Amino acid sequence: MARVLRDVCGAAVSGPRVRFGPSPTGFLHLGGLRTALYNYIFAKQQRGTFVLRVEDTDQGRVVPGAAESIEGMLHWADSHLQWWHNTAVTGPVCGKPHRKTRRPQTSLAASEVLLDRGAAYRCFCTPQRLELLRKEALRNQQTPRYDNRCRHLTPKEVAEKLARGLDWVVRFRLERGVEPFQDLVYGWNKHEVAEVEGDPVILKGDGFPTYHLANVVDDHHMGISHVLRGTEWLTSTSKHLLLYKAFGWEPPQFGHLPLLLNKDGSKLSKRQGDIFLERFAQEGYLPEALLDMITNCGSGFAEKQMGRTLEELISQFEIGRITTHSALLDLEKLPEFNRMHLTRHIENEALRQKLIQELQLLVEHTYGDQQVDKEVLEKEYVEQVLLLRKGHISHLKDLVSGNYSYLWVRPLVSREHLQTISAEVDEIGKLVLGLMAKPAAVWTIEELNKDLRNLQKQTRETKYSSMMKLLRLALSGQQHGPSVAEMMVTLGPREVCGRIRKVLSS
């Protein structure tokens, strides 16, 4: 009969329960984020629960600060969407979010159950003996494995060794004849682990469980119904199922996610340092762009499509569509993903307000010592810049790069320089000043484009393209960039007049 899980108030917890179980032996990278995300969207779609479980069983390999960093990065990925907070329930089964891993007591008790049942045994082999076994196997070109020697110790021999105070570990007896299991992604599967491995250690000499025991015990006690994890664990699953069988527990369903590789099929190297989330956060990428990219290159959706929101990922995800092919990641496309999501943020009233604040800070930080005219920090102005430049920028910080400095500080342009483009600098300047008296109601890019066309007809000999070049330089100090009409709309008539007058009087 299926177990009924209850929260602190005794209410039955329904729906699937999944977990993301990163080891704090390093920082969160794109592969980890993808596993977390698939778990999350599956839970959300099925009205289930997503649990974060930091697996710090291997204390020797724990990197200080890694657990906090992983949580911090999940918060970051969550910052606009509140994606995993909403799903965790409170209670002994799962915290909010669950961050409890080392359950040495529970695992210790569990290992005793297995010892009592004869499914596990104490192993007294010394590290020296194990090392000899290893070397011998390598010499014979075989894969090293424990020879299960202590399996055959009699109770009397065990008692004697214990009485002598010898060190011991607990090993799990790997039985032959594993049953196949149906993986949600890979289909029917089984690995005759006993044929290729020696009995694995499940409890170490220091009383701490190894991953295999802790994982099974924690998943059972937390009521995990579906284990969605990286494909590197596929071959361990038969071993885990043997453990479930030995305990007499109902196992969860397993689904293994294919590898995430570079575009050329090579391994995503954590050493490259460029796949860690911290880097993307620092570079100003939007979390949604990352979520979109890592699901876009993988499977699980009927169609390949860019620009999906998290809500769309949840509603369109179909676990049965995850294929066994590796997902190829094209990091060069990330700016494009970001551009799409940035555009969506700018178009959304509430999200835009946040961007306005961020841009104001960026401008102050970048141009503060160049005496930014406080007017350029006004909300309306910053908002106008965002609305007009949406779709053209892939990062917010693009707007404080050199190409856009004219938005925040007046450019240095000499009249002599402008005269090399057209001798009619004064005439054009005056015509533009006249144009700036236009009523605000007709201050649109379209209208201004028409006006500029008419204005050129009033010059004696300046071509339209030269006039535009001259005005773009006068207004922005740049040879390229947005249209002159857009610059005028952004800067507003007062600032345009200011810049033209400055050139005329230089």
Sequential DSSP letters for 300-364: SSSS--S---HHHHHHH--GGG--SSPEEE-GGGHHHHHHHHHHHHHHSHHHHHHHHHHHHHHHH
Closer to ligand GLU by CB, 55 or 183: give it.
55
Is residue 21 a contact residue for ligand GLU (CB under 6 A)? yes
How far apart are alpha carbons 480 and 503 in whole angstroms? 19
* Pair of tokens at residue 127: 């590290």
**Residue 61 or 501 having the CB closest to ligand GLU:** 61
By beta-carbon proximity to ligand GLU, the closer residue of 29 and 229 is 229
Question: Is residue 107 at the binding interface for ligand GLU, with CB under 6 A as the rule?
Answer: no
Would you say 45 and 315 are in contact if contact means Cβ atoms under 8 Å apart? yes
The most distant pair of C-alpha atoms in the chain lies apart, rounded to whole Å, by 112
55 binds ligand GLU, rule: CB under 6 A:
yes
Stretch that binds ligand GLU, among 16-24, 103-111, 389-397, 471-479 (CB under 6 A): 16-24
Among the residue ranges 18-26, 185-193, 353-361, 400-408, the one whose residues contact ligand GLU (CB under 6 A):
18-26
**Residue listed under structure tokens 């937390």:** 222
Tell me the two tokens of residue 395.
């990062």
- Is residue 181 within 8 Å of 188, Cβ to Cβ? yes
Give the bridge partners for 170, in sequence order: 122, 203
Least Å distance, CB 180 to ligand GLU, is: 19
Least Cα distance to 313 among 73, 36, 54, 85 occurs for 36
Smallest separation (angstroms) from ligand GLU to the CB of 318:
22
Confirm if 299 and 323 have CB atoms less than 8 A apart: yes
- d(C-alpha 174, C-alpha 146), whole Å: 12
Cβ atoms of 199 and 148 within 8 Å: the answer is yes
CB nearer to ligand GLU: pick between 55 and 199: 55
Minimum distance of ligand GLU from residue 37's CB (angstroms): 14
Q: Smaller CB distance to ligand GLU: residue 21 or 209? A: 21
Binding mask 186-215 for ligand GLU (x = CB under 6 A): -----------------------------x
| Shortest CB 290 distance to ligand GLU, Å | 19
3-class state of residue 502 by DSSP:
helix
Number of residues that bind ligand GLU (CB under 6 A): 7
Residue least distant from ligand GLU (Cβ): 229
d(CA 446, CA 312): 35
Smallest distance, ligand GLU to C-beta of residue 219, A: 8
Residues 23-42 that bind ligand GLU (CB under 6 A): 23
56 binds ligand GLU (CB under 6 A): no
Taking the least distance from each CB to ligand GLU, the nearer of 300 and 477 is 300
* Among positions 5, 18, 22, 52, the unique one binding ligand GLU when judged by CB under 6 A: 22
| Residues in CB range of 480: below 8 A, 6 or more apart | 403, 472
Min separation Cβ 233 and ligand GLU, Å: 5
Of the two residues 28 and 400, which places its CB atom closer to ligand GLU in the complex?
A: 28
Using an 8 Å Cβ cutoff, are 77 and 287 in contact? Answer: yes
Which residues ranging from 217 to 246 are in contact with ligand GLU (CB under 6 A)?
229, 233
Closer of 215 and 238 to ligand GLU (Cβ)? 215
User: Minimum CB separation from ligand GLU for residue 18, in Å?
Assistant: 10
The amino acid at residue 453 is R
- Please identify, among the stretches 21-29, 148-156, 249-257, 324-332, the one whose residues bind ligand GLU according to the rule CB under 6 A: 21-29
Taking the CA of residue 405 as centre, how many other CA atoms within 13 Å lie in the half-sphere pointing to its CB? Answer: 17
The values of phi and psi at residue 16, to 5°, are -65, 155
Binding positions for ligand GLU, rule: CB under 6 A: 21-23, 55, 215, 229, 233
